[in-house]
Chains A and B, each alone.
Chain A
Amino acid sequence: MMRIGVFVCHCGENIGKTVDCPKIAKEAVKLPNVVYSIDYKYMCSDPGQNMIKQAILEHKLNAVVVASCSPHMHEKTFRKACAAAGLNPYMCEIANIREHCSWVHDNVEEATKKALDLIRMTVERVKFNYPLSEIRVPVTRRALVIGGGIAGIQATLDIAGAGFKVILVEKEPSIGGHMSQLSETFPTLDCSQCILTPRMVEVYQHPNVKLYTYSEVENVEGFIGNFKVTIRKKARSIKESLCTGCGLCVQKCPIKKAPSEFDEGLANRPAIYVPFPQAVPNIPVIDRTVCTYFKTGKCQLCKKVCGRDAIDYDQKDELVTEDVGAIIVATGYKLYKIDKKARDSLVKGYGEYGYGKYKDVIDGLQFERLASASGPTSGEILRPSDKKQPKKVVFIQCVGSRDPSKGFEYCSKICCMYTAKHAMLYKHKVHDGEAYVFYMDIRAGGKGYEEFVRRAIEEDRVKYIRGRVSRIYEKRGKYIVKGEDTLSGVPVEIEADMVVLATAIVAQPEAPKLAQTLGIPYDKYGFYAEVHPKLRPVESSSGGIFLAGACQSPKDIPESVAMASAAASKALVLFGNEMLEREPIVAKVNENTCVGCFYCKKVCAYNAIELKEIRDKKGNLVKVIASVNTGLCQGCGTCNATCPSKSIELIGFNDEQIYYQIKAL
C-alpha cells in the first residue's frame, strides 16, 4: 500500500503568488494513497527539508512528491533529504509548479488548477516508482591508446606521466605517424623530426608505457572502466628481444627495390627494413610480400648475417589481451589518393589531373619527402621523373576538399597552411624558381598563420591564383595546367615542371571497421563522431572511449596535441576513482517475453544491448534474447519505445509510470 506525502513549496512569492499553495495542499490529500500533505514557504531550506524527513518518519511515507521548482534545480536536494530519513531517494518525484506553472502563468485560478493537475499526475507516477540504487562499476586504471602518431604519443605521455599504465598500439613498424614524414612545420618552420623524435624515445623508455608496434586492435569487449582488448601482434619475423637494431640485415638484404612507404614511393627500401633511421623501436620487419625467402624458400641472407639469431621466419601473428579502463582513439588520417577511382567510392576522382599517370604530379606528403633532409633527395627539390630541378611548380589546393560535385564536402583545414609552407620551402631551395598556388580561399585561422601566408606571398613571391584547375596534361615535357583566375576572370595556362596537389585529408580506410569494433559512431566519411560538438568534443558516445587527433576530423599538429591532452585528462578523470557510480536509469529486459528481434540493439547508440542465450535445465538453447549491459546503457529509453512487445523497459521512466501519469491528465 502506497503512503504518499505531498509537499507544496511556495518558493517565497515565486510560486505562492500565482498558485494557491495552501489550497492545493488541501486538495492533494484527497488524492488516493496520499496520506499527508503540507505547504511551506521554502521547501528546499533546512526547515523545509526537515519537514519532509519528519513526515516520512511520522506518517510512514513510502513515496514523496515535492511540488516545487524544476527537477533540474532541486531533485537531488529532495532525494537526499528523503534518503536521510531512510526513504529510497528514487521514491521521490518532483512536480514542477514553478518554471512550468507559476512563472509562466498569470491567472491564479488557472495556475492553481494546473499545479494540482501536475501534482496528481506525479502522484500517479510515483506509485509505480520502486527503490533503486546507484550502479557501481569498478574501474581498471589502465589506458589503451590506438595510434602512435603525434596525438597518440601525446596522450600516452600525459597518462603515463600521471602515474597510470598505458598501452600504445601502432599498426606500422614504428611510431611517429605522419609527423615523422614531414620536413618542416608551419608556421615556425622548425624541423618536424627534431621536435618529434625525443617524444618517441620518451614513449619507448617510459616505465608506464607498454608499446605494441606492428600491431592492431582486433577486438574490444566490455564497457567503460572495464574493457577487454585483444591485440594482434603481426609477425615481424624478428625476435624483438634479441634484436639490437644493428642494421646489418638491412644492409645485406639483396632486395632493394620495394617502394618505401615512409618516402611515399619516391624511394625504395629492402625487404627487411626499418621504416626510417629514427624509428622507434629500432627493430626491422620483413615484408613477406617481397622477401625472396618467403617467395622462393631461398636466400636467408639476413639470418646468416644476424649475430643474435634474431630472425624468425616462422613467427606467427600473436593475439594478446589487455584489460583497460579507457581507450583513446588516435588513428589519424590518410591522404586521398586521387588516381584510384573506385566505382563505389564516395567521390568521383580527379583523373583529369593525371596523378599516377605523370610522375611529376605529386601529392603533399610526397613533396614533404622531397623537401625533407632525410628524404630521397636529401632535401633537394628534384623532379621524380628525371631528377632535374623544376623551375616552375604549381601547387593546387582543395583537390578533393570543399568539392561537393566531385570530391568531399568538407574543408581539409591544413592544406592552405602546408601549401604555403611548400611553396615557401621550394622558393628557399630553388631561388630562381617560380611557384604558383591555385586556391579557392585562404583559410589561415591560427596563431601566426595568416602572417605565414602573407610571408609566402610577399617575401617569397609565391604567385597565388584564385581559381580552380580543370585539367593537367603533358605537352613536350611540360605539364600544362589549365585553370581560371577568377579574380581577373581569365583562363590561365601554366607550363609547369612539377605539380603538387594538396589532396584532401581522408579518414583511414579501416576507420569504420575499428569504429564497429569499438562501437563508436562515425560520419559518412569515416571520421569518428564526438558525442557533443561543443561541450564534449573529445568523447565518443561510448563511455570511456575518447578521441584525439585527425581521426575525428582534419587537424594540424597543435590541435591534435591539444585534443590528445584533453582526451588524456578525460581518461584521468575516469581513473580518479576506483569505482564508477551512476544513476540507475538503465533499460531492463523482460526475459520471459523477449523474442530477440533486436530492434532495441539497432536503435541503441551505445552498443548496450548484448545477446543472451536462454537455455532450459538440460542445457538446450531455448532462445537468444536481448540483455542490457548496464555499464554501457545511458538510459535514453529509445529501446523501450521501439520494442513492439514492451519487453525492454527503462527503469525510472517505465511504461507504468508514464501510463498512469498520462491517465491522470
Chain B
Amino acid sequence: MDNIGYYPGCSLLGTAKEYEQSIRHVFSKLGINLIEVDDWSCCGATSAHATNHLLSVALPMRNIILAKKQGLKSLFIPCAACYNRFVVARYEIENRPELRKKIEDVLEEKIETDIEILNMIEMFQRIDRELFLSKRQRDLKGLKVAAYYGCLLVRPNGVTGFDDPEMPSAMEDVVRLTGAETVDWNFKVECCGASHSITNMTVVTTLSKRIIDDAVENGAEAIIVACPMCHSNLDMRQRNIAKMDSQHKSIPIFYLSELVGFSMGIDKEDLGLSLHFIDTESVLARFSTAIVAKE
C-alpha cells in the first residue's frame, strides 16, 4: 500500500466534513494509506497571511518539519486554501534565504523543503488509470458537470505551477474517468467571493450566482469543486441566491472526491452527501441502481 502524508486542515474537520469523509473512503478503496501529520496545526490560511507574514510562513513550515520527521515524502493537502498557503510559504523559504534564517530561528529547527505537496487533483492524477477504472462501479454517463477550480489551486501560477491559470483542464480529466461529461464553460477560475461569505454576503451571492448561472447555461447539472471555501460559497449560499432571484435554478455542488466516491459505489452516507445544503439526489438518483457489475 502506498503511504502518503495527509494534512486535513481545519475545514475538513468542520464545514467540509463530507470532503474529509469522502477522501478517506476513496483513497482507502484505491489502496492508498493516508498518514495524518502528527500534531498538525493551523496552516495560516485563515487570517495569518493577512495579518502576520512571519506567522503565515512559520505555520506551514512547522507542519512540513513535522511531516519530514515522520519520514513523509509527499503531503496531500485537500483544502485548496491550505494547499495554497503551503506552496506559497515553501516558495518564499526556498527563494529568500534571509526569511528562511528568520523562520528557522523562530522554529528553532532546520527547514528542509524537499517534500512533494499535492492537491486533490494532483492526488488523482497519480492514480493509475487502470486502477481507477477497476474500482469504478457506477458509470456516470449522461451526468453533465462543470469543473470549477476557483483561485487557490492555480494561482499564483509561478508558485503552484499547477495547470493553466486561466483555462485549467486537469479536473476534467479526472471527472471524465467517472463516466460523467464535463461541460465547456467560462467561469472555471472566476472568484466565488471567498471569505466575504462572512463579512459581506452580497459579494458572495453576486459572484457565486454568476458562476452557477454560467454553468447552468452551458448545460451543467452540477458543479465539481476541490476547495471547501468554494463549496461553502456555492452550496450554502445558493439559498440566499434563490432569495435574490426567484428564477434561480439550484444545482448541487460536489467535491471531486464525492463524485469519484459515488462512481466507486461508496455509500452516499459514507460520502457525507446528506450534509449538503442543496439536495444531491436530484442528479444522483438515476445512477443509484446503475452499479456496474465487477468482473
Binding site for B on A (CB under 8 A): 341, 348-352, 357, 405-406, 470-471, 473
Nearest CB in chain A: distance from B57 CB, A:
23
Can you identify 10 A-B contacts, CB atoms within 8 angstroms?
A341-B164, A350-B166, A351-B167, A357-B184, A405-B157, A405-B165, A406-B157, A406-B165, A406-B166, A471-B186
Nearest CB in chain A: distance from B93 CB, A:
21
CB within 8 Å of A: which of B133-189? 157-158, 164-167, 169, 184, 186
A405-B157, A405-B158 given; A473·B186 CB < 8 A: yes
Closest to B168 in A: A351
Closest to B163 in A: A348
Count chain B CB atoms within 10 A of each CB in A341, A352, A357, A406 and give the residue with the most.
A352
Q: What is the number of contacts between chain A and chain B, taking CB atoms within 8 Å?
A: 27
Pick the contact of A349: B157, B167, B186 (CB < 8 A).
Answer: B167
Q: Bound complex: CA of A253 vs CA of B167, how far in Å?
A: 42
Residues of B within 8 A of A350 (CB): 166-167
Closest to A472 in B: B186
Q: Bound complex: CA of A357 vs CA of B184, how far in Å?
A: 10
Given contacts A406-B165, A406-B166, 18 further A-B contacts (CB under 8 A): A348-B164, A348-B165, A349-B167, A350-B166, A350-B167, A351-B164, A351-B166, A351-B167, A351-B169, A352-B167, A352-B186, A357-B184, A405-B157, A405-B165, A406-B157, A470-B166, A471-B186, A473-B214
Nearest CB in chain A: distance from B290 CB, A:
32
Q: Bound complex: CA of A121 vs CA of B168, how far in Å?
A: 66
Residues of B within 8 A of A406 (CB): 157, 164-166
Nearest CB in chain B: distance from A573 CB, A:
47
Residues of A within 8 A of B166 (CB): 350-352, 406, 470-471
Decide if the interface of chain B is mainly helix, strand, loop or mixed: loop
Closest to B185 in A: A473
Residues of B within 8 A of A473 (CB): 186, 214
Residues of B within 8 A of A349 (CB): 164, 167
Residues of B within 8 A of A471 (CB): 166, 186
Closest to B190 in A: A471
Residues of B within 8 A of A348 (CB): 164-165
Nearest CB in chain B: distance from A654 CB, A:
45
Q: Bound complex: CA of A471 vs CA of B187, how far in Å?
A: 9
By Cβ-Cβ distance, the 9 closest A-B pairs, closest first, are A351-B167, A473-B186, A352-B166, A352-B167, A348-B164, A405-B157, A405-B158, A471-B186, A470-B166
Residues of A within 8 A of B167 (CB): 349-352
Q: Bound complex: CA of A351 vs CA of B164, how far in Å?
A: 9
Q: Bound complex: CA of A405 vs CA of B157, how far in Å?
A: 7
Nearest CB in chain A: distance from B165 CB, A:
7
Q: Bound complex: CA of A531 vs CA of B167, how far in Å?
A: 39
Nearest CB in chain A: distance from B203 CB, A:
14
Closest to B156 in A: A405
Residues of A within 8 A of B165 (CB): 348, 405-406
Residues of A within 8 A of B158 (CB): 405
Q: Bound complex: CA of A351 vs CA of B169, how far in Å?
A: 10
Nearest CB in chain A: distance from B122 CB, A:
16
Closest to B218 in A: A473
Q: Bound complex: CA of A350 vs CA of B167, how far in Å?
A: 7
Residues of B within 8 A of A351 (CB): 164, 166-167, 169
Nearest CB in chain B: distance from A416 CB, A:
23
Residues of B within 8 A of A341 (CB): 164
Q: Bound complex: CA of A405 vs CA of B154, how far in Å?
A: 12
Count chain A CB atoms within 10 A of each CB in B157, B164, B165, B169 and give the residue with the most.
B164
Q: Bound complex: CA of A473 vs CA of B184, how far in Å?
A: 11
Nearest CB in chain B: distance from A260 CB, A:
28
Closest to B167 in A: A351
What string of 1s and 0s marks CB contacts (under 8 Å) between B196-234 and chain A? Answer: 000000000000000000100000000000000000000
Nearest CB in chain A: distance from B206 CB, A:
13
